[in-house]
Structure 1
Amino acid sequence: MTRTLQWNVDVALVEDEGTTKARARLRTDTGTITGYGTAHLSPQDVDVPKIGEELAAARAMHSVVRQLMRAADRDLQAVGAGPSGPPEPGYGWPYSAP
Protein backbone atom coordinates (compact mmCIF):
# COMPACT_ATOMS: atom_id res chain seq x y z
CA MET A 1 0.00 0.00 0.00
CA THR A 2 1.41 3.38 -0.99
CA ARG A 3 1.01 6.28 1.39
CA THR A 4 1.74 9.84 0.37
CA LEU A 5 2.03 12.68 2.88
CA GLN A 6 3.04 16.29 2.66
CA TRP A 7 4.61 18.07 5.60
CA ASN A 8 5.18 21.80 5.34
CA VAL A 9 7.79 23.95 7.06
CA ASP A 10 7.13 27.64 7.58
CA VAL A 11 10.02 29.88 8.62
CA ALA A 12 9.36 33.39 9.92
CA LEU A 13 12.23 35.85 10.44
CA VAL A 14 12.41 39.13 12.38
CA GLU A 15 15.44 41.42 12.34
CA ASP A 16 15.93 44.14 14.94
CA GLU A 17 19.12 46.11 15.63
CA GLY A 18 21.67 43.40 14.86
CA THR A 19 19.62 40.45 16.09
CA THR A 20 17.75 38.08 13.82
CA LYS A 21 15.17 35.72 15.29
CA ALA A 22 13.59 32.82 13.44
CA ARG A 23 10.66 30.53 14.10
CA ALA A 24 10.43 27.29 12.12
CA ARG A 25 7.13 25.44 12.26
CA LEU A 26 6.76 21.91 10.87
CA ARG A 27 3.17 20.89 10.24
CA THR A 28 2.58 17.15 9.99
CA ASP A 29 -0.56 15.09 9.63
CA THR A 30 -0.61 14.62 13.42
CA GLY A 31 0.60 17.94 14.83
CA THR A 32 3.06 20.79 14.80
CA ILE A 33 6.66 21.08 15.94
CA THR A 34 8.09 24.56 16.50
CA GLY A 35 11.73 25.53 16.82
CA TYR A 36 13.43 28.86 17.46
CA GLY A 37 16.81 30.26 16.49
CA THR A 38 18.70 33.52 16.94
CA ALA A 39 21.72 35.16 15.34
CA HIS A 40 23.53 38.22 16.68
CA LEU A 41 25.68 40.62 14.68
CA SER A 42 29.06 41.11 16.32
CA PRO A 43 30.22 44.74 16.41
CA GLN A 44 33.36 43.89 14.41
CA ASP A 45 31.41 42.04 11.66
CA VAL A 46 30.14 43.53 8.41
CA ASP A 47 26.35 43.84 8.49
CA VAL A 48 25.10 41.32 5.91
CA PRO A 49 21.45 40.59 6.81
CA LYS A 50 21.33 37.44 4.69
CA ILE A 51 23.94 35.77 6.91
CA GLY A 52 21.94 36.46 10.06
CA GLU A 53 18.81 35.16 8.36
CA GLU A 54 20.57 31.97 7.30
CA LEU A 55 22.04 31.36 10.76
CA ALA A 56 18.81 32.05 12.64
CA ALA A 57 16.74 29.94 10.23
CA ALA A 58 19.24 27.06 10.35
CA ARG A 59 19.22 27.12 14.15
CA ALA A 60 15.41 27.12 14.24
CA MET A 61 15.23 24.21 11.80
CA HIS A 62 17.92 22.36 13.75
CA SER A 63 15.70 22.68 16.82
CA VAL A 64 12.81 21.16 14.85
CA VAL A 65 15.04 18.30 13.69
CA ARG A 66 16.15 17.51 17.25
CA GLN A 67 12.53 17.47 18.44
CA LEU A 68 11.46 15.27 15.53
CA MET A 69 14.28 12.80 16.23
CA ARG A 70 13.30 12.64 19.93
CA ALA A 71 9.68 11.95 18.90
CA ALA A 72 10.84 9.18 16.54
CA ASP A 73 12.99 7.68 19.29
CA ARG A 74 10.02 7.69 21.69
CA ASP A 75 7.77 6.09 19.07
CA LEU A 76 10.37 3.41 18.35
CA GLN A 77 10.69 2.60 22.04
CA ALA A 78 6.90 2.46 22.38
CA VAL A 79 6.77 -0.39 19.86
CA GLY A 80 9.79 -2.16 21.32
CA ALA A 81 12.20 -1.17 18.56
CA GLY A 82 14.18 1.47 20.38
CA PRO A 83 17.88 1.27 21.17
CA SER A 84 18.87 -0.67 24.27
CA GLY A 85 21.97 1.36 25.10
CA PRO A 86 23.24 4.89 24.71
CA PRO A 87 22.22 6.72 21.53
CA GLU A 88 24.22 6.00 18.42
CA PRO A 89 26.04 8.88 16.75
CA GLY A 90 24.27 10.14 13.67
CA TYR A 91 22.48 13.25 14.77
CA GLY A 92 23.06 15.83 17.44
CA TRP A 93 26.22 15.82 19.48
CA PRO A 94 28.38 12.71 19.23
CA TYR A 95 28.13 10.34 22.18
CA SER A 96 31.31 9.90 24.15
CA ALA A 97 31.60 7.28 26.86
CA PRO A 98 32.84 8.46 30.26
Structure 2
Amino acid sequence: MTIEIANRYFWFNPRNGAEYYALISASSKEEAIKIYYREISDRDADPDVGCKELTSAEAWKKLQNADDGEGGELSIEEKLESFEDTGIILWPMAMLY
Protein backbone atom coordinates (compact mmCIF):
# COMPACT_ATOMS: atom_id res chain seq x y z
CA MET A 1 0.00 0.00 0.00
CA THR A 2 1.28 3.46 -0.88
CA ILE A 3 0.11 6.83 0.31
CA GLU A 4 -0.13 9.51 -2.33
CA ILE A 5 0.53 13.01 -1.12
CA ALA A 6 -1.99 15.26 -2.82
CA ASN A 7 -0.36 18.60 -2.07
CA ARG A 8 3.09 20.05 -1.80
CA TYR A 9 3.92 23.09 0.32
CA PHE A 10 5.75 26.20 -0.85
CA TRP A 11 7.08 29.02 1.33
CA PHE A 12 7.36 32.48 -0.24
CA ASN A 13 9.60 34.86 1.68
CA PRO A 14 10.73 38.44 0.98
CA ARG A 15 14.31 37.38 1.75
CA ASN A 16 14.06 35.20 -1.37
CA GLY A 17 12.56 37.82 -3.68
CA ALA A 18 8.85 37.49 -2.91
CA GLU A 19 6.88 40.65 -2.23
CA TYR A 20 5.09 39.14 0.79
CA TYR A 21 5.49 35.96 2.76
CA ALA A 22 3.00 33.16 2.14
CA LEU A 23 2.63 29.43 2.64
CA ILE A 24 0.79 27.85 -0.27
CA SER A 25 -0.35 24.29 -0.81
CA ALA A 26 -0.37 23.22 -4.45
CA SER A 27 0.33 20.26 -6.69
CA SER A 28 3.41 21.93 -8.23
CA LYS A 29 5.73 24.91 -7.87
CA GLU A 30 4.23 26.45 -11.01
CA GLU A 31 0.72 26.19 -9.56
CA ALA A 32 1.90 27.73 -6.27
CA ILE A 33 3.44 30.67 -8.14
CA LYS A 34 0.20 31.22 -10.08
CA ILE A 35 -1.79 31.22 -6.83
CA TYR A 36 0.71 33.62 -5.25
CA TYR A 37 0.42 36.15 -8.07
CA ARG A 38 -3.34 35.78 -8.42
CA GLU A 39 -4.15 36.07 -4.70
CA ILE A 40 -1.26 37.75 -2.88
CA SER A 41 1.07 39.89 -4.97
CA ASP A 42 0.10 42.88 -7.05
CA ARG A 43 3.33 42.76 -9.04
CA ASP A 44 3.55 41.17 -12.46
CA ALA A 45 4.11 37.43 -12.39
CA ASP A 46 7.76 36.44 -12.16
CA PRO A 47 8.29 32.72 -12.75
CA ASP A 48 11.60 32.94 -10.90
CA VAL A 49 10.17 34.30 -7.66
CA GLY A 50 11.92 32.66 -4.75
CA CYS A 51 9.88 30.00 -3.08
CA LYS A 52 11.13 27.04 -1.15
CA GLU A 53 9.39 23.70 -1.11
CA LEU A 54 8.81 22.50 2.44
CA THR A 55 8.09 19.04 3.73
CA SER A 56 4.62 18.58 5.14
CA ALA A 57 6.19 18.50 8.64
CA GLU A 58 7.95 21.85 8.06
CA ALA A 59 4.77 23.41 6.65
CA TRP A 60 2.68 22.11 9.55
CA LYS A 61 5.18 23.57 12.04
CA LYS A 62 4.91 27.00 10.36
CA LEU A 63 1.13 26.81 10.55
CA GLN A 64 1.18 25.73 14.19
CA ASN A 65 3.54 28.58 15.14
CA ALA A 66 1.65 31.26 13.21
CA ASP A 67 -0.28 34.01 14.94
CA ASP A 68 -3.80 33.86 13.54
CA GLY A 69 -4.34 37.57 14.20
CA GLU A 70 -7.81 37.05 15.63
CA GLY A 71 -6.88 37.57 19.26
CA GLY A 72 -6.74 33.85 19.91
CA GLU A 73 -5.54 30.61 18.46
CA LEU A 74 -7.43 28.81 15.75
CA SER A 75 -8.51 25.37 16.86
CA ILE A 76 -6.43 22.41 15.78
CA GLU A 77 -9.34 21.31 13.61
CA GLU A 78 -9.43 24.69 11.81
CA LYS A 79 -5.67 24.59 11.23
CA LEU A 80 -5.83 21.01 9.97
CA GLU A 81 -8.66 21.87 7.57
CA SER A 82 -6.63 24.79 6.20
CA PHE A 83 -3.54 22.59 5.93
CA GLU A 84 -5.30 19.91 3.91
CA ASP A 85 -6.81 22.32 1.37
CA THR A 86 -5.11 23.48 -1.80
CA GLY A 87 -4.32 27.18 -1.85
CA ILE A 88 -3.12 29.79 0.58
CA ILE A 89 -2.45 28.55 4.09
CA LEU A 90 -0.63 31.57 5.58
CA TRP A 91 -0.31 35.16 4.38
CA PRO A 92 0.28 38.60 5.95
CA MET A 93 -2.64 39.59 8.19
CA ALA A 94 -2.18 43.25 7.17
CA MET A 95 -3.50 42.34 3.73
CA LEU A 96 -6.94 41.69 5.21
CA TYR A 97 -7.43 45.30 6.29
Q: Which one has a larger percent strand, Structure 1 or Structure 2?
A: 1
Q: Which one has a larger percent helix, Structure 1 or Structure 2?
A: 2
Q: Same fold judged by TM-score > 0.5?
A: no
Structure with the larger RCO, 1 or 2 (CA within 8 Å, 6+ apart): 2
Give TM-score scaled by structure 2 length.
Answer: 0.27
